[in-house]
């Protein structure tokens, strides 16, 4: 059963040791990520959700049975951790969502960053989700994840896999002139609306903010958060915003719930 959830950014800069010095304000994001992860209840498995990038997972979605996460994609193969994969959980989700399972591939950068931030514990079920999918489809995927870990048969509570779901919380990358996307018109308002949705406790409001608009403002976290909505709604888990900041003009959202 799903017992907890979190939204944390998947930016490699948040990982200790990646940068010699942090941009102003990023230290508070790091502290919020640590606090959100520490607040999660005891669990047996972790589902990680990140947006698929071009060339990942064929159709832009998939589960990864990979035993190592590293930042080799940004030139830091030394920043890595070993992973334990929840094979049973991955198979269940694959059957219910028809997402393919990738074995032996390199873990995509967003998922790798999330796994390293979480701490390389686990077992993990890393997933990429299609950023261009409609909100209803993403939410249905989240519902399927929750059902994959729902109590089954005559299992006693101690025999049921306690699961937490963690989604990438990377918002707009176009909030100022020095942002990766430069300054995108309406990006600040888009981020503010996402924060309001989380604060309201109704993640279904994300449906009004993508996928086209999320892509326009460069928000990689919209699709993973859409999947998270389906999972948390099915499990009846609410989220509380812990922090939002935009160092270097990139929006980072941190939230958690149990």
Residue 11 and residue 171 in contact, taking contact as beta carbons nearer than 8 Å = no
Q: Which two tokens stand for residue 22?
A: 């942090």
Question: What's residue 59's pLDDT?
Answer: 54
Mean local confidence (pLDDT), 51-63 = 72
Question: What's residue 180's pLDDT?
Answer: 87
State how far the Cα of 107 lies from the Cα of 113, in Å rounded to an integer.
Answer: 10
The residue whose two tokens read 């190592």 is 68
- DSSP states along 159-217: GSPPEEEEEE-B--S-BSTTSTT-B-TTHHHHHHHHHHHHHHT-GGGGGGG-SHHHHHH
Question: What's residue 157's pLDDT?
Answer: 47
Question: What's residue 21's pLDDT?
Answer: 75
Question: What's residue 54's pLDDT?
Answer: 62
Is the confidence at residue 163, as pLDDT, over 90? yes
Mean local confidence (pLDDT), 139-145 = 98
Mean local confidence (pLDDT), 182-191 = 96
Q: Where are the beta strands (DSSP E) in the chain?
A: 2-8, 45-51, 62-65, 68-71, 76-82, 101-103, 124-129, 163-168, 240-245, 252-257
Per residue in 4-43, pLDDT tens?
999 999 999 999 888 877 778 899 999 999 999 999 999 9
pLDDT band at 104 (very low <50, low <70, confident <90, very high): confident
Question: What's residue 24's pLDDT?
Answer: 80
- Name the average pLDDT for the chain: 91
Mean local confidence (pLDDT), 100-111 = 90
* HSE-CB for 207 with a 13 A CA cutoff: 13
pLDDT band at 152 (very low <50, low <70, confident <90, very high): low
Q: What is the pTM of this model?
A: 0.94
Using omega within 30 degrees of 0 as the cis cutoff, is the peptide bond preceding 123 cis? yes
């Amino acid at each position: 059963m799903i017992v907890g959830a979190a939204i944390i950014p998947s930016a490699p800069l948040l990982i200790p040791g990646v940068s010699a010095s942090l941009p102003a304000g990023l230290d508070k994001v790091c502290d919020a990520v640590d606090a959100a992860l520490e607040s999660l209840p005891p669990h047996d498995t972790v589902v990680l959700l990140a947006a698929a990038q071009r060339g990942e997972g064929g159709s832009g979605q998939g589960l990864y049975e990979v035993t190592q996460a590293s930042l080799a994609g940004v030139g830091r193969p030394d920043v890595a951790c070993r992973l334990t994969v929840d094979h049973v959980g991955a198979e269940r989700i694959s059957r219910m969502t028809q997402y393919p399972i990738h074995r032996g591939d390199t873990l995509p950068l967003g998922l790798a960053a999330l796994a390293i931030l979480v701490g390389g514990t686990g077992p993990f079920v890393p997933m990429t989700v299609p950023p261009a999918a409609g909100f209803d489809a993403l939410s249905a995927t989240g519902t399927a994840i929750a059902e994959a870990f729902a109590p089954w048969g005559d299992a006693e509570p101690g025999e049921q896999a306690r699961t937490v779901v963690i989604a990438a919380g990377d918002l707009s990358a176009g909030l100022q002139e020095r942002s990766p996307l430069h300054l995108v018109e309406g990006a600040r308002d888009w981020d503010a609306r996402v924060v309001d949705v989380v604060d309201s406790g109704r993640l279904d409001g994300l449906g009004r903010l993508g996928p086209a608009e999320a892509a326009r403002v460069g928000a990689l976290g919209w699709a993973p958060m859409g999947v998270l909505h389906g999972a948390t709604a099915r499990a009846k888990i609410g989220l509380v915003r812990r922090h939002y900041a935009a160092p270097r003009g990139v929006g980072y959202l941190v939230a958690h719930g149990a």
